[in-house]
Each structure stands twice: as structure tokens, then as C-alpha cells.
A = this chain, B = another copy of it.
């Protein structure tokens, strides 16, 4: 796990063999199921990686915001779905009307659907459905579903959901089942339309839907590992970090990667703030802005000050949004995070 590299730390590394294997595995899984794959590029925000996903068979991409989608639209990606319940300002409408290429959007209220007046007619909308995550989206048995459908008129293209309650150990199967039930019920009620679902933990269990939109599978992270969605060998993104301080008596080790690169995503069901690659049990016990605190187990040799180690974050999507570039490990190559910070 110790590298000999000239990179200044902390730095985000992408391991190409793992990245390509993750992309190929999900593409094969989707193909085997007969479900179209529309990966969510919020995870990487990097056109080069989105192109690898298309090359492997993905049919379009998913974005979270208009500005994120614009980056990929300008880069030539031909079919983009913004999987978010947008409520458009006048400026946002103007940006969508000038969008380079094909784009579709999400809505989950009559207000937002009516507010689409003045938006280009070829920009279709999917209604967001809540299949159990209890975030945005209408419930399948809600009267709002048909009201939004009517307000959309010819703009209606289908329904989508995010089974986010698939995260956490043992949750994937029930979330995937809820996804299928909810989407099928809505399509039946509305007399047709695309059904779009999918999350990385539930993707292997999705069925009976038209397309899926997993994101974090390209990199994987501690959350995916603890959710049972990947193995330690499937992790493609790490943060290279240097040991800067030690308390030898307490076996406390401080590394120079903190919350300003690892982020602080930590659901209650996950232990620690990430782990040392190769040692999934060696978790970061505390995280400051520029310090990761680790207590080194007695059976492992304490690293020297100056040693470089790779850390696996809890949530890769938030790491990507903290850096302007990533480095392809073992290659003299960096990729710009072209859509970093594109929140609106």
C-alpha cells in the first residue's frame, strides 16, 4: 500500500484496472437483464470516464443539475437525463432552451410541471416517484401522480425513482423490489412511459424496469463495501496521503487527508470515516479539515513519518466534488473534474 510517487499529498488516485472492471461488470449486468444503463455521472464529473461508460454500452448518461449536464452536453454527450425534481427559474429555462443536444428532466409536483411553460417542447420530463426512500418524489398511490401527468401533457416521457434506501447492509433486495413495484404501478396507471430506477447497491437485483442509473459503482467506496455491493478489490478511487504525525505510545497516526478531501459523509451504519486500502478494518476514527486520525493495530507495523498510504473514502461522489483533478495511478496522466462544483 506504500507508493513511490512524486505527487504532493493529499491527492485523488484513480486505478484504471479497477475502474474498467467496474464499468464492464455493470454494463454486462445491465445487458444480461435487458435493462438499459444510464450511469449517473455525478460520481465522477469527468467526461473521459463517462466516455468509457458509453464505450462499454451505456445508453445515455444521468446528471444531477443543469450546470453539471451542460458540461457533458458541451463535451458532446448526446442523451442526458437530469434526474432531479427541477423547479426552473427564468434563467434556468433559458439555459435549458440553449442546451447543446438532447436533454430530459425530472419533476415531482404540479407546480413544477406547470412551470415548464416556455421550455423547448423536445425537452421531455419524467415524474419522480418515491419508492420508499422518503426524500423527493410522489407516492405511487398519490392523486398528484395523475395531476402531474396531465400538467405535463406531451412532455411526459415516463417515471423515475431512486431506491436510496438500498444503502446499508442487507437493504438492497427490499429496495429493489419496492422500486419495481412502484415504477410498474405508475406506468400502468399512466398508460405507458419509460420506467427508470437503479442505485449501485440495488443494481444487481433490479428487474422489470426499462433503465437504471447507478453512479458510484465506477469507483466504489467504504459505503459500497459495507453495503455488500463490492469487495475491497473493486475499489478504483483512493486518496494518497502522507503520515505527518505519530503518537507511538498510543499508536495514533495522523495523515494529511482531512474532510477537505475525504469529505465527512458518514451514515450511522458505517464505522469510521474511511479506511486504509488493503486493511478494511483499519478505519479513520476522527477527521478534521486536514487531519485523519487512525489508531494502528498492534499486529501491523506503525508507519514512519513521511510514509504515503492510500485511504478509501466513505463516499467517492463527495471526494470528487472537492478536487479539480484526479491522477490515474501508475500513468503520467491527470483528468480534470470538469463538472466540479456545478451545483445549480
Binds B, one of A49-57, A153-161, A285-293: A285-293
Q: State the CA gap A324–B340 with chains docked (Å).
A: 10
A135-B286 in contact given A87-B243, A264-B318, A343-B261 (Cβ < 8 Å): yes
Q: State the CA gap A63–B164 with chains docked (Å).
A: 38
Nearest residue in B to A128 (C-beta to C-beta)?
B245
Q: How many chain-A residues does the 8 Å CB contact rule pick out? A: 63
Q: State the CA gap A65–B134 with chains docked (Å).
A: 40
Nearest residue in B to A115 (C-beta to C-beta)?
B306
Contacting residue for A288 out of B164, B243, B252, B288, CB 8 A = B164
Number of this chain's copies in the assembly equals 2
Shortest Cβ distance from A279 into chain B, in angstroms? Answer: 21
Chain A positions 252 through 269: 1 when the CB is less than 8 Å from some CB of chain B, otherwise 0 = 101011011101111000
Asked if residues B306 and A344 are in contact (CB atoms below 8 Å), the reply is no
Dominant secondary structure of chain A at its interface with chain B: loop
Contacting residue for A265 out of B108, B244, B264, CB 8 A = B264
Asked if residues A9 and B109 are in contact (CB atoms below 8 Å), the reply is no
Q: Provide the residues of chain B in CB contact with A286, threshold 8 Å.
A: 135
Q: Is A146 among interface residues, defined by CB-CB distance under 8 A?
A: no
Shortest Cβ distance from A276 into chain B, in angstroms? Answer: 18
Q: Is A35 among interface residues, defined by CB-CB distance under 8 A?
A: no
Q: Is A323 among interface residues, defined by CB-CB distance under 8 A?
A: yes
Q: Is A13 among interface residues, defined by CB-CB distance under 8 A?
A: no
Contacting residue for A135 out of B128, B243, B293, CB 8 A = B293
A263-B261 in contact given A134-B252, A244-B87 (Cβ < 8 Å): no
Asked if residues A92 and B8 are in contact (CB atoms below 8 Å), the reply is yes
Q: Is A322 among interface residues, defined by CB-CB distance under 8 A?
A: yes
Nearest residue in B to A162 (C-beta to C-beta)?
B288
A343-B260 in contact given A112-B305, A318-B289 (Cβ < 8 Å): yes
Shortest Cβ distance from A263 into chain B, in angstroms? Answer: 6
Q: Provide the residues of chain B in CB contact with A288, threshold 8 Å.
A: 135, 164
A residues 203-254 touching B (CB-CB < 8 Å): 242-247, 252, 254
Q: Provide the residues of chain B in CB contact with A318, threshold 8 Å.
A: 259-260, 264, 289
Contacting residue for A136 out of B65, B244, B266, B323, CB 8 A = B244
Q: Is A11 among interface residues, defined by CB-CB distance under 8 A?
A: yes
Q: State the CA gap A39–B136 with chains docked (Å).
A: 41
Chain A positions 98 through 118: 1 when the CB is less than 8 Å from some CB of chain B, otherwise 0 = 000000000011011001000
Asked if residues B10 and A344 are in contact (CB atoms below 8 Å), the reply is yes
Asked if residues B341 and A8 are in contact (CB atoms below 8 Å), the reply is no
Shortest Cβ distance from A313 into chain B, in angstroms? Answer: 12
Asked if residues A112 and B321 are in contact (CB atoms below 8 Å), the reply is no
Q: Provide the residues of chain B in CB contact with A256, threshold 8 Å.
A: 87, 344
Q: Is A300 among interface residues, defined by CB-CB distance under 8 A?
A: no
Asked if residues A341 and B317 are in contact (CB atoms below 8 Å), the reply is no
7 closest residue pairs by CB, A with B: A136-B245, A8-B344, A111-B305, A264-B264, A85-B245, A136-B254, A264-B265
Q: List 19 A-B contacts (CB under 8 A).
A: A6-B91, A9-B344, A10-B343, A65-B290, A109-B245, A111-B306, A130-B247, A134-B252, A134-B293, A136-B291, A137-B245, A257-B343, A259-B318, A260-B318, A260-B321, A264-B265, A289-B317, A322-B322, A322-B343
